Amino acid sequence: MKRSLAYAFFILAAGLSMVSIGSAQDRTQGRSMVTTRYGIVAAESPLAAQAGAQILSRGGNAIDAAVATNAVMGVVEPMMNGMGGDLFVIVYDAKSGKLYGLNASGWSPKGLTPEFLKNKGVTTMPQHGIDSVTVPGVVDGWSKLLGRFGKLNLEQDLAPAIRYAHEGFPVPEWDAEYWGAAAGFLKKNPATASLYLLQGEAPKVGEIFRNEALSRSLALVAKGGRDAFYKGELAHRIVDFSKREGGAMTLEDMADYSSEWVEPLSTKYHGWEVYELPPNGQGIAALEMLNLMQQFPLSQFGHNSADALHVMIEAKKLAYADLRRYVGDPRFSKIPVAGLLSDDYARERAKLIDMSKANCNVSPGMPNEKLGDTTYMTVVDQQGNMVSLIQSNYDEFGSRLVADDTGFVLQDRGALFNLEPDSPDVLAGHKRPLHTIIPAFMSNGDTRIAFGIMGGFNQAQAHAQFVSNIVDFGMNIQAAMEAARFDKITFGGCDVQIEDRVPADVRAALTARGHQLEVRGAFSSHMGGGQATERNFATGVNFGASDPRKDGEAIPEPPPHP
């Protein structure tokens, strides 16, 4: 009898335990955060994240790991990023407790002007080809990051990328999709076809892709530093190729280029300080969106409710109208940064949001101030140093041009210039265009979060949604990254893309207010993909998150061997 009773209690306890566990795991979040007291690298490729984690285990810090990871990303995801692109970074230095911003976006060739294009019969800004190419900023960015913060040298940090380029790697799922979609235009150019296609076709999932030319180029930079790229053999290859294509790039355009340290901008959102880099990037639009959203009780509306989404979509339109009107290279035009981010301006602009209907014709405001397809990755190390880094070729495979024997495409970032004389983003020599790629950072008390979400002009609006998920709705970084998103990629009209995980009744309510919804899949690449790391400085615990909209992972640093 006693034995039977004891057995019954055992079964009851086991059943209650299973109920408890089942309830705890009844969630919409698809995966858990990575949690460790060691470092974490979160990137769009597990191979790249693993390379960064190994750099941490070999004595490198977060900055070393970020450079190593970014370099590997340029090998394994060549359509999105690489040495021919640009770079933006926010660094949190744990020792000083300060944030540092680096703008490593390249400028246009000095001779690339509206008159230069006019003489060629070109009347609109080219979106691809040699006249869309700007000086790549990545390598100078790596050099400045390591020179100021790194513990290892460029040769050590680039070693994993050199190895992957030489040995090859199996192509993962998302990248095989991107590659397949680009096969048509890659075939039209003998150089890109030879480099990026296998037997004339895009590589399939699991096929091995090698890039010996890129391995040699990385090795040149590893040994010769930034001068190997901007003054040495690679510079000559790029400039000689540009001349043959009828471009304006000169050796002086390459040699004179330098990335610059900048002071991050910030705004407060319900007690959290949120940071973005200043123009020429679009980060200011994310901050303005948050200022507008803060005028409404989003947490009371409920996550992804019709009211909350309506406010966010309308705030996006207002912020992006200002972005288009005012933002360009601050060396060429005066930008009303303080006015755009002021509380008074947010309160006035927020009055334009009508909760009953969508505004399909939004105009820029007048701030009260006197005017005088990307990859994201993030790292936190054991000491609490954090890096928020984003890098891109702009379009997939950039300009779609490859200089001889370099192994990487040249970016088409110049496509974001225009030829409108009164625009802040009008083309000029040695000017940087309005940039889409933006890293971000947020903090509250002992908590610091480095994050970013790629996807062209999706980025600022995706940042605002991520911040709201954390602050308004109490999500952890993985849940906030996974949560269903909207994306309004255009600047005008009422069109909005939205993932089908947003409930049908909510979508119907938005449609009734005048939003023209295009419903996308559950985890649509149109919403971009992101990564995040978090550190609790009170406990010394690090957390990592990776977006299922990409192939990536958050990978912890292995502990030291005994």
Catalytic center residues:
374
Contact 380, 52 (CB under 8 A): no
Q: Phi and psi for 546 in degrees, rounded to 5?
A: -140, 135
- Reading the block at residue 213, the tokens are 């030319």
> Which parts of 245-369 are beta strand (E)?
260-262, 265-269, 272-276
3-class SS of residue 182: helix
Element (H, E) at 114: helix 114-119
Element (H, E) at 87: strand 86-93
Element (H, E) at 440: strand 440-444
CA–CA separation, 93 and 151 (whole Å): 13
To which residue do tokens 């940039």 refer? 435
Contact 69, 367 (CB under 8 A): no
Q: Is 453 exposed, middle or buried (0-12, 13-18, 19+ CB in 10 A)?
A: buried
Closest CA to 179 of 164, 197, 194, 160: 197
CA–CA separation, 111 and 114 (whole Å): 9
3-state SS of 294-312 is: CCCCHHHHCCCCHHHHHHH
CA–CA separation, 272 and 340 (whole Å): 19
Answer positive or negative: Cα dihedral of 460, 465, 466, 471: positive
To which residue do tokens 């971000």 refer? 440
DSSP assignment of 455-519, as one string?
Answer: SGGGHHHHHHHHHHHHHTT---HHHHHHS--EE--SSSSSEEEEETTS-HHHHHHHHHTT-EEEE
Helix axes 306-326, 283-293, angle to 10 degrees: 140
Residue type, 312: M
* Region of residue 374 (phi > 0: left; psi between -120 and 50: alpha; otherwise: beta): left
CA–CA separation, 240 and 410 (whole Å): 13
Closest CA to 314 of 342, 351, 263: 351
3-class SS of residue 99: strand
